[in-house]
Amino acid sequence: MHWAYRIAEELIRKHPDRETFVCASGISPSGSIHIGNFREVVTTYFVVRALQHLDKKTRFIFSWDDFDRFRKVPKNVDPTFEQYIGMPYSEIPCPFGCHSSYAEHFEREFEQSLRDFGIVPDFIYQSKEYQSGRYQTQIVQALQNRKQVYDILMNFKTSEHSMEERERFYPINVYCEVCRKDTVNIHRFQDERLSYTCSCGHSNSIKVEEATNIKLNWKVDWPMRWQAEDVIFEPGGRDHSSATGSFNVSKEIASHIYNFQAPEYEPYDFISIKGSGEKMSSSSGNNITPGELLNIYTPEVILFMFAKYQPNAPFHIGLDDDVIRNYTEYERFSHAEKSQLKEEISAALELSSVTSVIRRVPKFSHVASILPLVNFDTSLVREVLERTGEAYTLKEVAGVCERAEYWLKNWCSEKVLKVNKDKDLHFYGLLDDIEKKWIEDFVRLLMSEIDIQDEELMRSVYDICHVDDSKLKKSNQKRLFSTIYQLVLNSNSGPRIPILIHSVGKERLISLLTF
Ligand SMILES: [Zn+2]
């Protein structure tokens, strides 16, 4: 059974009387949201789709933790933003001057990408919720039980704890009314009033019930939100999922402080981009966003990769030759008869569909091999495909061309094939007599007037180097092809021979291969 269905069925079994299945996800808008964080949303998304498929009513929420404090300036943000550290993301200016706040900039960027994937959760903006007073009761509850919260936190830590620290512990961040930073020192919580002094000099005593500048610490905020939204499922990253990680701590706080049972939890592992083994992090600013991946992959291919792997399996997304492999695999599965696919693959395909319309498009690998040979001209790609027996409209070809071109130019520019300007006399000089004879025969084949079809053409090409010994035959074919590619493209490999002929053109090929 596919993992999303396994989780969905488990939820239904545990909550037989439930009317609405609330499934949650959430991220801090600390910078551009990278593809590793995308797994947070997509894990919930697949479970929601599985529940809907099982005829359950769902609510899919996504909480933006934009009332969190700004901790670190990402690499792509002006270093002078250092001055805002300690303020909530929702109150910092947009680093690029195009949105009303820092939070909004990165929120809109990610929300747009989600729409491209057809993922449309209910967005909840924590800065608004906190300031609306909606969480006041739970904030008061956490403050009243602050020492018990401290004890729970300490149970998960090996570090020394002290009675003194316990006395001074408050599970909240308070944003100063004057400088808007959380650099406040809390003196007292008594009769539901909180008194504090900020490092800027401002001091105050406020009624917690009416305050709009208090935020619960993460490990209390999380269970508080589960309760507020009535969440029954939420995934969490590997860093939150260890024995002493946030989830287990929050689960204890849920049951001991807020008196309810934590939702079902599914840990998910990291994603890496192949070629860079580093764990990606939003605040480093050096990362791949879902938006960047969409320049290369279709939403379906990306979703399929996430659906295919169990959430607890780390995997990498290749931007190298894996792009061809990933597309080819997806194309093969999506064109196969459903009955011939494993149940899990078939469920993964269904969960990754973005529209119900099945688009008829050329293979990515074909387009990518033709494009550089026709100077990235989309209409020429369409013509070459037509001549090799595949007819598409320009529109059907254009989308694939756009992604293939972006990939070739930005991620493997050193490997982009170019047709040689002149004959490669030097390389020809290195060939032995057999190879020279093959090239001669190949040119003769090209010169034959008949417009032969692909398969027949390939058979004639194979005939050129034919021997009976099958092992030798294989090696001969490889040798013939690489000799042609070297003489035409200055590369050991290249597109299928019919594509090469139609892209480069017979006359030009003949001129490059006649010595
Ligand atoms: Zn202050």
CA of 200 to the centre of ligand 1 (A): 4
Q: Of 65-74, 166-175, 447-456, which gets the smallest average pLDDT?
A: 447-456
For 207-216, letters b (16+ CB in 10 Å) and e give: ebeebebbbb
Q: How many residues are given for the chain? A: 515
CA of 79 to the centre of ligand 1 (A): 22
Nearest alpha-carbon partner for 495 in 316, 400, 364: 364
CA of 214 to the centre of ligand 1 (A): 14
Write down the pLDDT at residue 422. 93
Q: What is the pLDDT of residues 326-356, one digit of tens each?
A: 999 999 999 998 889 999 999 999 999 998 7
Write down the pLDDT at residue 452. 61
CA of 78 to the centre of ligand 1 (A): 23
Nearest alpha-carbon partner for 362 in 389, 322, 341: 389
CA of 85 to the centre of ligand 1 (A): 12
Neighbours of 200 (CB within 10 A): 14
Q: How far apart are the C-alpha atoms of 59 and 230, rounded to whole Å?
A: 10
Q: Region 269-291: what's the mean pLDDT?
A: 62
Write down the pLDDT at residue 280. 42
Is 430 a residue whose pLDDT tops 90?
yes
Task: Give the distance, in angstroms, between the CA of residue 313 and the centroid of all CA atoms in the same chain.
Answer: 15
Nearest alpha-carbon partner for 417 in 378, 373, 483: 373
Judge whether 272 and 281 are in contact, CB under 8 Å. no
User: What residues contact 275, with CB distance under 8 A and at least 6 apart?
Assistant: 318, 319, 320
CA of 97 to the centre of ligand 1 (A): 25
- Structure tokens given for 511: 């001129």
CA of 32 to the centre of ligand 1 (A): 28
Share of the chain above pLDDT 70, in %: 96
DSSP 3-state assignment of 359?
coil
Nearest alpha-carbon partner for 129 in 86, 85, 84, 68: 68
Is 284 a residue whose pLDDT tops 90?
no
Provide the pLDDT confidence category of residue 451 given band limits of 50, 70 and 90: low
Q: What is the pLDDT of residues 292-323, one digit of tens each?
A: 899 999 999 999 999 999 999 999 888 888 99
Q: How far apart are the C-alpha atoms of 292 and 284, rounded to whole Å?
A: 16
CA of 180 to the centre of ligand 1 (A): 6
CA of 198 to the centre of ligand 1 (A): 5
Judge whether 367 and 394 are in contact, CB under 8 Å. no
CA of 174 to the centre of ligand 1 (A): 10
CA of 175 to the centre of ligand 1 (A): 8
Is 20 a residue whose pLDDT tops 90?
yes
Give 212's DSSP letter. Answer: S
Give 297's DSSP letter. Answer: S
- Compute the mean pLDDT over every residue in the chain, rounded to the nearest whole number: 92
Q: Region 408-424: what's the mean pLDDT?
A: 85
CA of 401 to the centre of ligand 1 (A): 54
Write down the pLDDT at residue 273. 81
Phi and psi dihedrals of 142, rounded to 5?
Answer: -65, -35
CA of 88 to the centre of ligand 1 (A): 13
Give 178's DSSP letter. Answer: T
CA of 458 to the centre of ligand 1 (A): 77
Write down the pLDDT at residue 281. 43
Is 81 a residue whose pLDDT tops 70?
yes
CA of 140 to the centre of ligand 1 (A): 23
